[in-house]
């Protein structure tokens, strides 16, 4: 069968695959890693697959529709997100019109949380593949192939775990598909990139440019109420690839992508198990790999682990500090203490690691004084870079449900999650802070952090000492400082 795996057009440089989809202030654009894994699984099953990333390529809807005669899809897999869902359904409807009889399946965290709402609201899509969807799509494609490439009837679809679909005027939700346990069985996502994508289209301000995004594990044991991936995609139990498989793929990337300057690990929390981190570091060094890498982390990593991963090429860790108020941290179930954050930063500096810090405002019960504590903590921790955002809540998360029940969602539609130009918009308030106040405080925090003479001098010295930092710093600054000066909009 011909299968089109599509990151659909919406806004130019719209980073749909990230946890908080938007056109970012730093110019970040994520690889469509989940779609790419699905494409690899479908290719391995013998299907003819086309993977298209419309936002990365700058493709409009008309350009995508013009490609229908070339691709001639029997099945379209369409990625979605909360802020773009109306547009995504519009793309689905247009594809249905351009290719009558095509099967169309939606994927992503939003439609996982809102499968009933999405499918009951119209006939643009035939089904939703919920949560981790690679094997759900593979099974669906097999059912379609056995049906001559046509969309199957309800009895044939009834056995496809993880699928929601319409039948006889109602929405049917098959049982959830178990999470994938043997991650080594998945095709290497980097090989899919090489066949279908151009790595120069993608940028992460925390990684050397250009970079390649990989995963070594899925799932996160953290209990944070706001984080959408563990709640709607990967689960809260960590499943890991073997170290041998991870390092073999890293070596392949270093060999087959000579332009790549780093690897970014998009695991929810790569550093969750110390023994595995040490094993990974030892295997990278034993293999003689020298390509730098970056990863997401929590603050509960000790000095020995930080030193060992740094010696194995880790350059930077992205860390969610979130708040400078212990009460607010406990309220969001962050599972850490401010003293641990401070110790982590001391150890990271001693190990020679850069840190990107994430901070958020607007949690339940958070006051203006709590926000000031967070600003002060960010300055004390003084990471290499920092981001400040109002808390972003998405359907399916515990945080979203709490804000909805308490009447704190300041949005008339899902599109309100973004400004008109596609930047993150504030859609929440709490009992102490309005949406407008939260945006103003985030702007204030960014200016306090980035416009310090000490920080500007540090950045100039950094790129002078380490010229490899210049491309990513310049690329991010070209976009970011325009927003820093102008401020955000609500």
- Using CA atoms, how far residue 469 sits from 63, 317, 327, 483, in Å, is 36, 15, 37, 21
- Residue 470 banded pLDDT, cuts 50, 70, 90: confident
Which percentage of the chain shows pLDDT scores above 90?
Answer: 90
Write down the pLDDT at residue 471.
76
Mean pLDDT value of segment 118-122: 94
Tally the residues of the chain.
Answer: 490
For residue 248, give Cα distances in angstroms to 139, 295, 314, 420.
28, 18, 17, 43
Residues 98 and 218 in one domain: no
Residue 183's contacts (CB-CB under 8 Å, 6 or more residues apart) are 215, 217, 218, 239, 240, 241, 245
22: domain CATH number is 3.40.50.2300
| Averaged pLDDT, 324-343 | 97
Measured CA to CA, the distance from residue 75 to residue 98 in angstroms comes to 13
158 and 262 within one domain: no
pLDDT of residue 398: 97
* pLDDT (0 to 100) of residue 455: 86
In a domain, 423, yes or no: no
Q: Are both 437 and 348 inside the same structural domain?
A: yes
Binned at pLDDT 50, 70 and 90, residue 300 comes out as very high
Q: What local confidence, expressed as pLDDT, does residue 478 receive?
A: 62
Residue 263: inside a domain: yes
Residue 307, token pair as written in the block: 């030193």
pLDDT in tens, 125-178: 999 999 999 999 999 999 999 999 999 999 999 999 999 999 988 999 999 999
Distances (CA, A) of 216 to 188, 220, 240, 265: 11, 12, 6, 7
Question: Is the domain of 373 the same as that of 434?
Answer: yes
Distance CA 363, CA 351 (A): 32
Let me know whether 149 and 254 are in one domain. no
* Domain shared by 231 and 372, yes or no: yes
Longest dimension (CA), the chain: 67
SS3 of residue 310 by DSSP: helix
The predicted structure's pLDDT at residue 460: 83
Tens-digit pLDDT profile for residues 431-457: 999 999 999 999 999 999 999 988 888
pLDDT of residue 461: 83
- Does 222 share its domain with 160? no
Please tell me the predicted confidence (pLDDT) of residue 473. 74
Look at residue 487 in the predicted model and tell me its pLDDT.
Answer: 63
pLDDT at 114 over 90: yes
Report whether pLDDT(249) > 80.
Answer: yes
pLDDT, greater one: 51 or 169: 51
Does one domain contain both 234 and 140? no
Residue 196 maps to a domain = no
Q: What end-to-end distance do the CA atoms of the chain give, in Å? A: 45
* Whether residue 281 sits in one domain with residue 167: no
Q: Which of 91, 87, 67, 66 is nearest to 77 (CA)?
A: 91
pLDDT of 457 = 84
Distances (CA, A) of 272 to 14, 267, 275, 481: 30, 10, 9, 34
Q: Is residue 43 part of a domain?
A: yes
Prior bond of 210 cis (ω within 30°): yes
Look at residues 134, 156, 173 and tell me which one is the last residue of a structural domain.
173
Residue 408: the pLDDT is: 97
- Cα angle at 210 between 206 and 214, to 5 degrees? 70
421 domain-assigned: no
pLDDT at 227: 95
Give the separation between CA 391 and CA 363, rounded to whole angstroms. Answer: 7
Does residue 485 carry a pLDDT above 70? no
Note down the domain range covering 451.
204-397+430-486
Q: Which region holds residue 193: left if phi is over 0, alpha if psi is between -120 and 50, else beta?
A: alpha
The residue out of 173, 192, 214 marking a domain boundary is: 173
User: Residue 169's pLDDT is what?
Assistant: 87
Q: How confident is the model at residue 26 (pLDDT cuts 50, 70, 90)?
A: confident
Separation CA 374–CA 388 (nearest Å): 10
Q: What's the CA gap between 324 and 331, in Å, rounded?
A: 12
Count CA atoms within 13 Å of residue 108 on its CB side: 30
Q: Which of 173, 195, 214 is the last residue of a domain?
A: 173
Q: What is the percentage of the chain residues whose pLDDT exceeds 70? A: 97
Number of domains in the chain: 2
Note whether residue 113 is domain-resident.
yes
Q: How far apart are CA 95 and CA 5, in angstroms?
A: 13
């Amino acid at each position: 069968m011909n299968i089109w795996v599509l990151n659909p057009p919406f806004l130019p440089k719209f980073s749909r695959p990230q946890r908080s989809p938007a056109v970012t202030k730093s110019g970040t654009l994520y690889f469509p890693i989940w779609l790419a894994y699905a494409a690899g699984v479908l290719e391995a099953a013998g299907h003819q697959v086309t993977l298209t990333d419309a936002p990365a390529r700058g493709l409009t809807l008309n350009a995508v529709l013009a490609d229908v005669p070339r691709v001639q899809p029997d099945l379209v897999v369409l990625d979605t997100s909360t802020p773009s869902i109306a547009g995504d359904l519009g793309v689905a409807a247009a594809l249905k019109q351009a290719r009558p009889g095509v099967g169309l399946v939606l994927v992503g965290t939003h439609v996982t949380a809102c499968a009933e709402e999405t499918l009951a609201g119209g006939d643009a899509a035939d089904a939703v593949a919920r949560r981790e969807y690679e094997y759900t799509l593979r099974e669906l494609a097999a059912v379609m192939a056995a049906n001559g490439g046509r969309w199957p009837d309800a009895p044939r679809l009834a056995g496809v775990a993880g699928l929601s679909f319409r039948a006889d005027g109602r929405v049917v939700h098959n049982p959830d598909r178990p999470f994938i346990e043997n991650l080594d069985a998945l095709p290497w996502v980097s090989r899919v990139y090489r066949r279908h994508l151009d790595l120069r289209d993608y940028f992460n301000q925390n990684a050397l440019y250009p970079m390649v995004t990989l995963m070594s594990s899925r799932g996160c044991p953290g209990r944070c109420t706001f984080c959408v991936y563990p709640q709607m995609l990967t689960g809260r139990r960590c499943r890991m690839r073997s170290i041998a498989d991870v390092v073999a793929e890293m070596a392949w990337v270093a060999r087959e992508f000579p332009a790549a300057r780093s690897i970014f690990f998009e695991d929810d929390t790569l550093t969750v198990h110390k023994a595995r981190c040490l094993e990974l570091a030892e295997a990278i060094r034993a293999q003689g790999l020298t390509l730098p890498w970056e990863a997401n982390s929590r603050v509960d990593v000790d000095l020995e682990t930080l030193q060992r991963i740094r010696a194995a090429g880790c350059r930077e860790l992205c860390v969610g500090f979130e708040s400078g108020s212990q009460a607010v941290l406990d309220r969001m179930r962050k599972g850490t203490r401010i003293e641990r954050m401070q110790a982590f930063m001391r150890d990271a500096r001693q190990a020679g690691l850069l840190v990107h810090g994430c901070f958020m405002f607007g949690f339940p019960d958070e006051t203006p004084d709590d926000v000031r504590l967070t600003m002060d903590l960010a300055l004390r921790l003084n990471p290499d870079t920092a981001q400040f955002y109002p808390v972003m809540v998405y359907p399916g998360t515990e945080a979203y449900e709490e804000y909805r029940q308490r009447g704190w969602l300041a949005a008339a539609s899902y599109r309100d999650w973004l400004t008109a130009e596609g930047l993150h918009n504030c859609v929440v308030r709490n009992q102490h802070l309005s949406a407008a106040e939260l945006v103003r405080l985030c702007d204030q925090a960014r200016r306090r952090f980035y416009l310090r003479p000490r920080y500007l001098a540090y950045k100039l010295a950094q790129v002078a000492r380490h010229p490899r930092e210049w491309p990513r710093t310049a690329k991010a600054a070209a976009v970011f400082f325009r927003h820093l000066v102008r401020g955000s909009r609500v």
